[in-house]
């Protein structure tokens, strides 16, 4: 056990904020060009939702970022729903399948379609849906995802490959054209 005191809360919050902002910026780079949600707003909303989870004892940094992935997903889905409601259903919120293996010419998909497909996947296999959430929304590596879920990296690799293919079919993509990176 170390005698080093923990960092001050303000320093810890700064680190968390900067990492969430990086995740949000990475994610929003894959959004449609005219998306109205900015990384700072996404982080603030996700952080506020996480702050409401005051009964959770965070096991470690990975546990926190896993929860952040869920919060970011919910903020984006809520934003897409509100935008669609404002347009009376006329506007699609498109995101690329970067990270889901669409290759350099990632096609755009509807965030609401992705969310619905993830819900269906969770009904079939909750762990595979969680792998997608951690890899895609939190930007975790295979190893980080494995640690978070307490499974082996081979299990995560298999779940990730299956989930990407399954989601492409569900959303109407061409699974045969998928390549992708699996780091």
**R_g over Cα of the chain:** 17
176: left (phi over 0), alpha (psi -120 to 50) or beta: alpha
7-39 confidence digits (pLDDT tens):
444 565 677 778 778 877 777 777 766 667 777
Could you tell me the pTM of the whole model?
A: 0.57
**pLDDT attached to residue 174:** 42
Domains recognised in the chain with CATH numbers: 9-175 (1.20.140)
**pLDDT attached to residue 3:** 52
140 CB-near residues (< 8 Å, 6+ apart): 62, 65, 66, 69, 134, 148
Query: Does residue 175 have a pLDDT over 60?
Result: no
């Amino acid at each position: 056990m170390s005698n080093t005191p923990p960092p001050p809360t303000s320093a810890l919050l700064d680190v968390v904020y900067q990492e969430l902002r990086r995740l949000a910026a990475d994610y929003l780079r894959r959004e449609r060009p005219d998306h109205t949600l900015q990384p700072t707003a996404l982080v603030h909303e996700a952080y506020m939702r996480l702050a409401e989870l005051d009964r959770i004892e965070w096991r470690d940094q990975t546990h926190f970022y896993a929860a952040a992935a869920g919060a970011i997903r919910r903020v984006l889905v809520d934003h897409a729903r509100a935008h669609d409601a404002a347009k009376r259903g006329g506007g699609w919120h498109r995101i690329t399948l970067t990270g889901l293996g669409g290759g350099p010419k990632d096609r755009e998909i509807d965030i609401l379609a992705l969310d619905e497909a993830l819900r269906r996947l969770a009904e079939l296999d909750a762990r595979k849906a969680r792998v997608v959430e951690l890899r895609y929304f939190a930007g975790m590596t295979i190893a980080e995802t494995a640690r978070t879920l307490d499974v082996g990296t081979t299990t995560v690799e298999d779940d990730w490959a299956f989930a990407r293919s399954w989601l492409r079919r569900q959303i109407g993509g061409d699974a045969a054209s998928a390549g992708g990176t699996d780091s």
